[in-house]
């Protein structure tokens, strides 16, 4: 247990990191509207990718400003004795993603488009002749399974070195693991605010724009953050969180390719929707209970 002065120093570092993450991240993202770019097109994608590195940059700046140093950055993968856990994370993340889409379409069966309208439209522009929508869907799913956890690993590490590699461990020094997981996810969700306002994940046409979208994103980040944070705690590394994050980014649009027009983005079919995210919520609740029980056991021993 830290002394009171130690707790005070940790709290100051937490506040500094959060301020830096939001200021730097939002400043980068606001280049998009300030330069008249359309979100999701052309250079805006590169700007959004640059924004993903702001938590890692903020972690480094916080360590420099507070003279904390660069120990415990959670960069080591810690493979020894944990290969099975890494395999579970590698392939389990994709299974969870597909399960989320399946749950959404089981609830909203009328939204399932077996004519592959959106997929055919996407294929019409740049897909080789002879490739059917069904085969294209299978190939896309295999791509998510086989390389999803690593295809976006560099930009997702840019986020996770901050959220799970710095903020989560710091919060665990001053509050319970459960509280730390929730607060980390809430900050992560709030950090997305300008992107949500411009249409990230939910578009701009839903009822309650943009406030319900912001709220939905915070809930989603808390849920996914619990899963990523649990993996971080158990493996003492930010790499598993980046793998899960990478898979989510790689496969988030897959269920949308099977949906008819007119779906409510706040509900699904993507995992960031309330119905699409049900499997994630169930897993997060299980891990939330487990991490709390583990903390109580450690405190009593």
**201 within a domain of the structure (yes/no):** yes
- Above 50 in pLDDT, residue 270? yes
Question: What is the average per-residue pLDDT within 227-250?
Answer: 97
Q: What is the pLDDT of residue 295?
A: 59
**63 within a domain of the structure (yes/no):** no
pTM of the model: 0.93
- Above 50 in pLDDT, residue 280? yes
Residues of the chain above pLDDT 90, percent: 81
Domain that holds residue 89: 76-300
**285 within a domain of the structure (yes/no):** yes
**223 within a domain of the structure (yes/no):** yes
**33 within a domain of the structure (yes/no):** no
**58 within a domain of the structure (yes/no):** no
Integer Cα distance of 58 and 28 in angstroms = 13
**27 within a domain of the structure (yes/no):** no
301 versus 275: which is more confidently predicted? 275
Number of domains in the chain: 1
**15 within a domain of the structure (yes/no):** no
- Above 50 in pLDDT, residue 283? yes
Residues of the chain above pLDDT 70, percent: 93
Q: What is the pLDDT of residue 22?
A: 98
């Amino acid at each position: 247990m830290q002394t009171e002065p130690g707790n005070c120093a940790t709290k100051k570092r937490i506040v500094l990191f959060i301020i830096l993450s939001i200021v730097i991240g939002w400043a980068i993202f606001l280049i998009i509207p300030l330069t008249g770019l359309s979100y999701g097109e052309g250079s805006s994608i590169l700007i959004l990718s640059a924004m993903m590195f702001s938590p890692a940059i903020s972690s480094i700046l916080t360590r420099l400003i507070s003279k904390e140093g660069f120990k415990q950055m959670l960069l080591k993968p810690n493979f020894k004795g944990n290969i099975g856990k890494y395999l579970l994370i590698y392939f389990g993340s994709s299974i969870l993603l597909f399960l989320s889409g399946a749950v959404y379409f089981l609830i909203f069966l009328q939204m399932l488009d077996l004519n592959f309208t959106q997929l055919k439209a996407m294929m019409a522009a740049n897909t080789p002749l002879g490739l059917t929508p069904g085969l294209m869907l299978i190939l896309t799913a295999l791509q998510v399974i086989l390389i999803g956890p690593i295809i976006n690993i560099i930009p997702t590490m840019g986020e996770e070195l901050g959220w799970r590699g710095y903020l989560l461990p710091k919060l665990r020094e001053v509050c319970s693991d459960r509280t730390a997981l929730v607060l980390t996810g809430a900050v992560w969700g709030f950090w997305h605010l300008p992107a949500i306002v411009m249409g990230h994940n939910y578009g701009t046409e839903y009822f309650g724009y943009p406030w319900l979208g912001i709220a939905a994103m915070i809930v989603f980040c808390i849920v996914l953050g619990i899963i990523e944070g649990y993996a971080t705690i158990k493996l003492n590394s930010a790499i598993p969180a980046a793998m899960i994050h990478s898979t989510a980014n790689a496969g988030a649009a897959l269920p949308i390719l099977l949906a008819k027009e007119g779906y409510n983005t706040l509900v699904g079919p993507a995992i960031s929707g309330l119905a699409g995210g049900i499997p994630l919520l169930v897993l997060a609740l299980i891990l939330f209970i487990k991490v709390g029980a583990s903390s109580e056991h450690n405190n009593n021993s």
